[in-house]
Chains A and B, each alone.
Chain A
């Protein structure tokens, strides 16, 4: 497939754009990457995603697609190699359920712990830990959510391991630990060691610094 027919608009520190990079990498899809300057969104981004004005946007044969989990499903349907979703409909439904759970319950909870102060921060961190513990049950004792290999839920939820660890460092409260969630802890470590996953990650020190700055801004705003 010619490189110019697939374009990804992203941001280097966005975990949602990262999901799409991971999927494209896994399937060996060539694409053109466009780095957006988020405080200064390009007319192209605003044209491609007028509803949300966000990254990532995947443009395939001039058709723009938005919302990272929806983009993952699209990629899986168009490029059949290294499938993300299982074949069995019930297993697919379980995968969609856990991806949605990670999206609705884990991501925002980690974000809340990251952006709040004092008692609100403690409360948010507690909720994040509880939701992460629930996410652990979705592993069903497997190495990855996809079984022996990376699948849809791993790519959907994988960023949370990395961001939760960084958040824990920044706010001083551990969100994932080996004692209370040994399987999830092992999962995120294994996930980040997978070569194609590692290759797409933004530089860790740069990301940590970026998030520290972001944290300062957010906690200065909330009183």
Chain B
């Protein structure tokens, strides 16, 4: 058997049963979609209505009851960044983590920073009003400043190719401008965040990534609805 035929045969065996419980545009789901697509892995999509979760989802993820859940040969994988590491360990083509341990640690650090600091601070800026929003914007921009510096001299966070940190920050590429439009504030501009804006363009244009790009009009509608709910709850200061 030729080596490429052997790889395909092995992939078929490994792929055997791969299901992804998902929504169409959740930031955490898309990471997994992109990772699987970049590696050319076949899988079944199971779309969840989060207001009416399937019993299967609740069975696979009883603790968090969330998407994404990747089920591989009947075994559930939970938490998007954990899933990405699993995918990278099982399917070795198009690696998303570097080989060098200190570079891997750096990638994990920035992915964590994105989820622990950047995302919550941007969400805060999105849902708050008045003075609270002004303060939230300052924090969000400080966090984004740290991220901007990581792109110095690089096309992607991972270098020439897309990696873990790019996938982890992918939501920035499709959601940041949506947030800005919905709540009428500018979080990043060309003067202070030229590298981030360039990265957003490069990421959005990348083959494979753009094939699973969530349609902007749907995102606008969705986040407009969120914005109305949150801003009606919070009294502006």
Contact = CB atoms under 8 A, between A and B. Distances in A.
Nearest to A50: B146
A67 B113 CA distance: 10
Contacts of B86: 89-90, 92-93
A74 B104 contact: yes
A78 interface: yes
Interface stretch (A95-103, A139-147, A192-200): A95-103
B104 A66 contact: no
B108 A70 contact: yes
A123 interface: no
Contacts of B78: 97
B82 interface: yes
A100 B82 contact: yes
Interface residues of B, number: 21
A96 B83 CA distance: 10
A93 B104 CA distance: 16
- Provide the main secondary structure of the chain A interface: helix
A165 interface: no
Interface string B55-93: 000000001000000001001011100110110011000
A63 B106 CA distance: 10
B109 A89 contact: no
A77 B105 CA distance: 10
Most buried by B among A73, A78, A92, A97: A97
A90 B104 contact: no
- Provide the main secondary structure of the chain B interface: helix
Interface string B20-54: 00000000000000000000000000000000000
B79 A97 contact: yes
A90 B75 contact: yes
Interface string B104-116: 1100110011000
Given A70-B112, A97-B78, A134-B63, A89 B105 contact: no
A133 to B, nearest CB: 11
Nearest to B110: A51
B146 A65 contact: no
Given A92-B89, A93-B77, A101-B63, A65 B82 contact: no
A78 B101 contact: yes
B113 A74 contact: no
A69 to B, nearest CB: 8
B102 interface: yes
B89 A70 contact: no
A63 B63 CA distance: 37
Given A73-B105, A97-B82, A51 B146 contact: yes
Interface string A96-140: 110011000000000000000000000000000000001000000
Given A63-B102, A89-B89, A90-B86, A70 B109 contact: yes
Nearest to A51: B146
A67 B104 contact: no
Nearest to A105: B63
A71 B102 CA distance: 9
Contacts of B79: 96-97, 100
13 contacts: A60-B102, A63-B102, A65-B102, A66-B109, A74-B101, A77-B101, A77-B104, A78-B101, A90-B72, A90-B86, A93-B77, A96-B82, A96-B85
Interface of B: 63, 72, 75, 77-79, 82-83, 85-86, 89-90, 101-102, 104-105, 108-109, 112-113, 146
Interface of A: 51, 60, 63, 65-67, 70-71, 73-74, 77-78, 89-90, 92-93, 96-97, 100-101, 134
